[in-house]
């Protein structure tokens, strides 16, 4: 049974996962057994009732009550049993315990942002304490995304203009991958993240260290911090730093250059142009590119934007 599970499913790392997997196994194993039983019966009947002589005539059989009741009642009982079990697991998965730790999740093309109750925030990495229920309250800044952690067996759509929620309890420390599982545009497949599960005290330390949210860590220069922000906010999935052309213009040698715009005019790439392009990317589109970048207004603080601009300046 474990081999079967290892083949089909990722490791089970949340409290609902085991119950969920048992149901999954039951549905698959019972389907497999029934399929084999039906195939065996078909083969048996093919051989037993094959035509044996030229003048053999098939008898007329109108119906068989006992047989018809059997093949209706047995599957009905089986399906009701699976429904009852599934409903119980569903209730488990949709009712967070009252003492759950809450994290606010914002999805946008193409990243995940997490905000914690003490003002700390993180992008791409969700930090949680081990062995404690965590409830995520989620919404989207643009289109529909879906929050999926296969290791936890949880998946929930994240919708603009309303809140949805999902909860989990990961008993062990470690990391699990977050996927976006609702097609949301060019970089949907890169819209991943990870859940980092800490020991309780380690988690408190992380929270305290990140309480400042959008301020620069003391040990980094603005440009170094900018580089870190670029990774966290996934800017590098569309903008290369080595001249490679991706979805958006490369940043190599961009600062100070003259760029032709889609309206036929030209712009000098200075601090003001970069700032505008981060906050309202649609305002002045570089020729040859599509207006696909999401606005970072309200996502990045002024200090963070300055750091990213400092970083871009270093890419000569
Ligand atoms: Cu976000 Cu797919």
Tally of residues, the chain: 316
Q: Give the burial string for 51-79 (b: 16+ CB within 10 Å, else e).
A: eeeeeeeeeeeeeeeeeeeeeeeeeeeee
Going from the Cα of 240 to the center of ligand 1, the distance in angstroms, rounded, reads 21
- pLDDT of 314 above 80: yes
Q: Would you say residue 152 lies in a domain?
A: yes
Using left for φ > 0, alpha for ψ between -120 and 50, and beta otherwise, residue 312 falls in alpha
- Which ligand 1 atom is at minimum distance from the Cα of 107? 1
Percent of the chain with pLDDT over 70: 97
Q: Would you say residue 55 lies in a domain?
A: no
Percent of the chain with pLDDT over 90: 43
234 lines ligand 1 (CB under 6 A): no
Domain containing residue 289: CATH number: 1.10.760.10
Residue 307 binned pLDDT confidence (cut-offs 50, 70, 90) = confident
Residues 281 and 251 in one domain: yes
Residues 127 and 203 in one domain: yes
**What pLDDT is attached to residue 91?**
92
Q: pLDDT digit string (tens) for 71-90?
A: 999 999 999 999 999 999 99
Going from the Cα of 282 to the center of ligand 1, the distance in angstroms, rounded, reads 20
Look-up of token digits 């003391």: 218
Nearest CA residue ID for atom 1, ligand 1: 145
Using left for φ > 0, alpha for ψ between -120 and 50, and beta otherwise, residue 213 falls in left
Q: pLDDT digit string (tens) for 225-247?
A: 888 888 877 788 888 888 888 88
**What pLDDT is attached to residue 54?**
83
- pLDDT of 99 above 60: yes
Residues 82 and 110 in one domain: no
**What pLDDT is attached to residue 1?**
56
140 lines ligand 1 (CB under 6 A): no
Going from the Cα of 110 to the center of ligand 1, the distance in angstroms, rounded, reads 6
Residues 131 and 194 in one domain: yes
Residues 246 and 195 in one domain: no
* Segment (H or E) for 81: helix 65-94
184 lines ligand 1 (CB under 6 A): yes
Domain hosting 282: range is: 222-313
Q: Tell me the DSSP string of 242-304.
A: SS---SS---TT-TT-EEEBTTS-EEE--HHHHHHHHH-TTSSPBTT--S-PPP-TTTS-HHH
Q: How many domains does the chain have?
A: 3
First to last CA, the chain: 57
Going from the Cα of 164 to the center of ligand 1, the distance in angstroms, rounded, reads 15
Going from the Cα of 156 to the center of ligand 1, the distance in angstroms, rounded, reads 12
**What pLDDT is attached to residue 173?**
93
188 lines ligand 1 (CB under 6 A): yes
Residue 40 binned pLDDT confidence (cut-offs 50, 70, 90) = very high
Residues 85 and 114 in one domain: no
Residues 38 and 138 in one domain: no
Residues 308 and 230 in one domain: yes
Q: Would you say residue 37 lies in a domain?
A: yes
Q: What contacts 123, CB < 8 A, 6 or more positions away? A: 111, 112, 113, 114, 232, 233, 234
Reported in sequence order, the residue ranges of the chain that DSSP labels E, i.e. its strands, are 101-108, 111-115, 121-123, 125-129, 134-140, 145-149, 154-158, 164-168, 174-180, 193-198, 258-260, 266-268
Domain containing residue 169: CATH number: 2.60.40.420
Where is the domain boundary, 188, 209, 230? Answer: 209
Where is the domain boundary, 145, 180, 209? Answer: 209
Q: Would you say residue 30 lies in a domain?
A: yes
182 lines ligand 1 (CB under 6 A): yes
Going from the Cα of 163 to the center of ligand 1, the distance in angstroms, rounded, reads 16
Residues 240 and 203 in one domain: no
Tell me whether residue 194 is exposed, middle or buried, using C-beta atoms within 10 angstroms of its C-beta: 0 to 12, 13 to 18, 19 or more: middle
Residues 110 and 163 in one domain: yes
Q: pLDDT digit string (tens) for 138-189?
A: 999 889 999 999 999 999 999 999 999 999 999 999 999 999 999 998 889 9
Q: Mean of the pLDDT values across residues 196-222?
A: 82
Q: Would you say residue 58 lies in a domain?
A: no
Residues 297 and 281 in one domain: yes
**What pLDDT is attached to residue 207?**
86
Task: State how far the Cα of 186 lies from the Cα of 50, in Å rounded to an integer.
Answer: 58
**What pLDDT is attached to residue 218?**
73
Count Cα neighbours of 183 within 13 Å in the Cβ-side half-sphere. Answer: 1
145 lines ligand 1 (CB under 6 A): yes
Residues 161 and 180 in one domain: yes
Q: Mean of the pLDDT values across residues 121-135?
A: 92
Going from the Cα of 183 to the center of ligand 1, the distance in angstroms, rounded, reads 5
Q: Which one has a higher pLDDT value, 80 or 291?
A: 80
Sign of CA dihedral 45, 48, 53, 59: negative
Q: Would you say residue 215 lies in a domain?
A: no
Residue 280 binned pLDDT confidence (cut-offs 50, 70, 90) = confident
Q: Would you say residue 271 lies in a domain?
A: yes
Domain containing residue 86: CATH number: 1.10.287
């Amino acid at each position: 049974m474990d081999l079967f599970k290892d083949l089909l499913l990722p490791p089970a790392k949340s409290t609902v996962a085991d119950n969920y997997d048992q149901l999954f196994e039951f549905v698959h194993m019972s389907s497999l057994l029934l399929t084999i039983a039906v195939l065996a019966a078909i083969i048996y009947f093919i051989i037993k009732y094959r035509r044996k002589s030229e003048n053999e005539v098939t008898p007329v059989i109108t119906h068989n009550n006992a047989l018809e009741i059997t093949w209706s009642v047995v599957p009905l009982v089986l399906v009701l049993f699976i429904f009852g079990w599934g409903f119980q697991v569903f209730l488990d998965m949709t009712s967070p315990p009252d003492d759950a730790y809450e994290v606010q999740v914002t999805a946008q093309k193409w990243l995940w942002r997490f905000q914690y109750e003490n003002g700390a925030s993180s992008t791409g990495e969700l930090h949680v304490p081990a062995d404690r229920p965590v409830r995520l309250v989620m919404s989207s800044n643009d289109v529909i995304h879906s929050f999926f952690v296969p290791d936890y067996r949880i998946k929930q759509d994240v919708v603009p203009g309303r809140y949805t929620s999902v909860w989990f309890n990961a008993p062990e420390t470690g990391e699990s991958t977050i996927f976006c599982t609702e097609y949301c545009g060019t970089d949907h497949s890169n819209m991943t993240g990870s859940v980092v599960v800490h020991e309780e005290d380690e988690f408190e330390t992380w929270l305290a260290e990140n309480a400042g949210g959008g301020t620069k860590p003391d040990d980094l220069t603005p440009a170094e911090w900018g580089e870190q922000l670029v990774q966290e906010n996934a800017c590098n999935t569309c903008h290369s730093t080595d001249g490679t052309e991706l979805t958006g213009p490369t940043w190599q040698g961009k600062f100070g250059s003259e760029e032709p715009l889609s309206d036929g005019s030209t712009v000098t790439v200075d601090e003001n142009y970069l700032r505008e392009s981060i906050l309202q990317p649609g305002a002045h589109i570089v020729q040859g590119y599509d207006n696909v970048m999401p606005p970072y207004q309200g996502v990045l603080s002024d200090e963070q934007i300055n750091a990213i601009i400092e970083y871009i300046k270093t890419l000569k």
